[in-house]
Amino acid sequence: MKHSEILEKCGFSIDELKHGGLAVSTPIDGSEIARLEMHSVAEVESMVKKSRAAFAQWRSVPAPRRGELVRLIGEALRAEKANLGALVTLECGKILQEGLGEVQEMIDICDFAVGLSRQLYGLTIASERAGHSMRETWHPMGPCGVITAFNFPVAPWCWNAALALVCGDPVLWKPSEKTPLTALAVQKICERAMQAFGDAPADLIQTIVGKRDVGEAMTTNPAVAVVSATGSVPMGKAVSLEVSKRLGRSILELGGNNGMIVTPSADLEMALRAVVFSAVGTAGQRCTTLRRLIVHESVYDELVPKLISVYENLSIGDPLDDATLVGPLIDTAALDGMEQALTQARADGGVVHGGAQALQELYPDAAYVQPAIVEMPGQTDIVCHETFAPILYTMKYRSLDEAIALHNGVPQGLSSCIFSTDVRETELFLSAIGSDCGIANVNIGPSGAEIGGAFGGEKETGGGRESGSDAWKAYMRRQTATINYSRELPLAQGIKFEF
């Protein structure tokens, strides 16, 4: 499909993509595909005000009716899956299967949120006083600002927005400046859903186009009750600081440095397949990408040479082509980052397999690479750092305790997994002295989570949780109410206060 055709199918006119200071290019060949006007800081302020006005109405709409809007958004996404999936591929370079998968994730979370809209359950609590009852109720919080990263340009917005909307919160979206087109296409889909809904307040869902400055304008504004930020650790630290200064609420979904432990009892064929998908999928640019492979010394020589030979035959190319498994990196800066990391790993004693630039003649302005495997003598600083590229560091271990210590010995704590058929090993890995990550899998790679569970991680990953389980509580305020239906006024803790 032609690039311009994808844009047209997503509802863009050629004219609306011609002017403005933000140049958007496709990582497929590095060419410019659009220019967009950026919002100013002053415009962001007025958008926040509008969001506040929308909140005044939306919080009083019954939650199941709010769910109806999310149902309509989910329906519209179903109808647009092929077009939006192709745009995800065009704008961020992941292969079409993964672009479609990302839109499916949006549909799934919409379905989840529709059900949730009838299940925003509180508690009834036993009161210590006669003739009293207690309950806990969840109320809408206020506008929810969502900051997203380039590598998952649409799904994380939807994890937040679908929940925020049923919880009664309007949504302001600041997408990555590298992927604003997918956001604007989703905004168009939402506008249509809101029209079909009929009486949604104006400006319930808004998209802010621009760079860091407009992200900061949204983050620092006290009227934005919840800020959910997905991206790098430095970004998360900056956002967290600003939101803390005003004692606001933030949900942080930051970088990962995900590991897999392969034990002597593992099914090595399964492990091999899981490693390849999770290490080279999205060209190593997932927050949950497998970056560290920790293999028992007795099976290392069986697994790692096979992996190296699979890596030599991976199809690298245009992500819109069905035969491609590895698309491009987002830009040449990412390529530089990968080259620097490989240079450092070599200096640390690592043996590098693959990792060269690819398809330079065909795509001189793009950044295709052969995924790299680096056999490391130990977990040096570069291994502890998240390089956002397809580099898989391999290390040997002798005892499971040593493997878990290596596994947990990095600053990030997003996703993790163990390949083993020994229940003692797998249960230890999942126990309090096992993996320290927010996600811990058994015989599944670290990437590709389902929406039903809470998604997020610990340590420098930021501690936030989004998506399924009870993650919705972060978008609401909790109210404890004590009701006295007696004719007495007893005080709690039996305190006497007579006058």
Which positions are catalytic?
253, 287
**Ramachandran assignment for 359, one of left (phi > 0), alpha (psi -120 to 50 degrees), beta (any other):** left
Closest CA to 458 of 417, 415, 428: 415
Spatial distance between the Cα atoms of 121 and 136, rounded to a whole number of angstroms: 9
> Which residue's beta carbon is nearest to the bound ligand NAD?
215
SS3 content of the chain, % helix, strand, coil (to 5): 40, 20, 40
DSSP 135-177: EEEEEE---EEEE--SSSSSHHHHHHHHHHHHHT--EEEE--T
- Cα–Cα dist 398/294, whole Å: 10
In terms of Cβ atoms closer than 10 Å to its own Cβ (0-12, 13-18, 19+), residue 16 is middle
Q: Which of residues 283 and 304 has its CB atom nearest to ligand NAD in the complex? A: 283
Return the number of the residue (319 or 446) whose C-beta is nearest ligand NAD. Answer: 446
CA distance 280 to 310: 11
Which contiguous run of DSSP H or E holds residue 112? helix 96-116
**CB 341, min distance to ligand NAD, A:** 14
Is residue 214 helix, strand or coil? helix
Chain residues binding ligand NAD by CB under 6 A are 147-152, 156, 174-177, 211-212, 215-216, 219, 230-232, 235, 238-239, 253-256, 287, 386, 388, 414, 461
Residue whose CB is less far from ligand NAD, 255 or 355: 255
Q: How far is the CB of 391 from ligand NAD (least distance, A)?
A: 14
* Gap between the Cα atoms of 229 and 225, Å rounded: 13
- Cβ–Cβ < 8 Å for 82, 63: no
Q: How far is CA 89 from CA 22, 451, 462, in A?
A: 19, 21, 28
- Rounded to an integer, what distance in angstroms lies between the CA atom of residue 231 and that of residue 440? 21
Place of tokens 């200096």: 347
Q: Which is nearer to ligand NAD, 177 or 375 (CB)?
A: 177
Tokens of 471: 């993650």
